[in-house]
Amino acid sequence: MKVIKGKHRIVFVLSWLGIVVKFPIVKWQLRWCFNATRKYLGNPRQLRIFILNWKIIGRDFFFAGIMDNWREFVFYIKTRHPFCEPTYFSFFGLLNIQRKAIPVPFDDSEFRKKCVDVMDRHIQRDNHHFEGTKNFSFRNGQLMMVDYGSPKTQGVIRDWGEKLMDNFHSNETPPLKK
């Protein structure tokens, strides 16, 4: 079993079942909150700023993995977009079950160039997901996306998903990884 750790989620690849199971990462976020609070205890002004920031962005940060899982599931169920690897099940964002992706065998820099050719400046709407091939799969000669829990990513999929699929065919792929 392969384990892949991201910023907000950890993924267990169950190859023999043809699925991946995604869990939110919460422990690290709790540790971050505890350490940050402890760091500012001696400085009341900094502690107030930290608490204010926690109220503004902390909940999103703390629940980011859960929210990403849930948004990914809801987006797939609502749209059934052909650019997305199917998310079969979610238990309220605490666990997602998704079809196992077939890794994209393309060179990252050539892949990004091709994405820029298709999307032009619009790639900047979600630069993180298009920096390489790790968020994509290639199935039946079509490019597909694996990680689409972010609202920015979902907007890009709505606007550019089919155009990207049309421009990545098995007979016109960028150079393979070496």
C-beta atoms surrounding 4 within 10 Å: 12
C-beta atoms surrounding 145 within 10 Å: 22
Write down the pLDDT at residue 6. 87
pLDDT tens track for 97-148: 999 998 887 888 888 888 999 998 888 888 888 888 999 998 888 899 999 9
Spans of the chain, pLDDT less than 70: 27-34, 36-37, 40, 47-48, 50-62, 169-178
Structure tokens at 129: 């997901």
Cα gap 28→155, rounded to integer Å: 29
The position carrying tokens 């032009």 is 120
Identify the CA nearest to 119 among candidates 78, 148, 147, 158: 158
* pTM, full prediction: 0.78
Q: Determine phi and psi for 52, rounding to 5 degrees.
A: -60, -45
Cα gap 63→50, rounded to integer Å: 17
Cα gap 149→106, rounded to integer Å: 23
Write down the pLDDT at residue 63. 79
| Boundaries of every domain in the chain | 2-79, 103-172
Are 160 and 88 contacting, i.e. CB atoms less than 8 angstroms apart? Answer: no
Are 85 and 60 contacting, i.e. CB atoms less than 8 angstroms apart? Answer: no
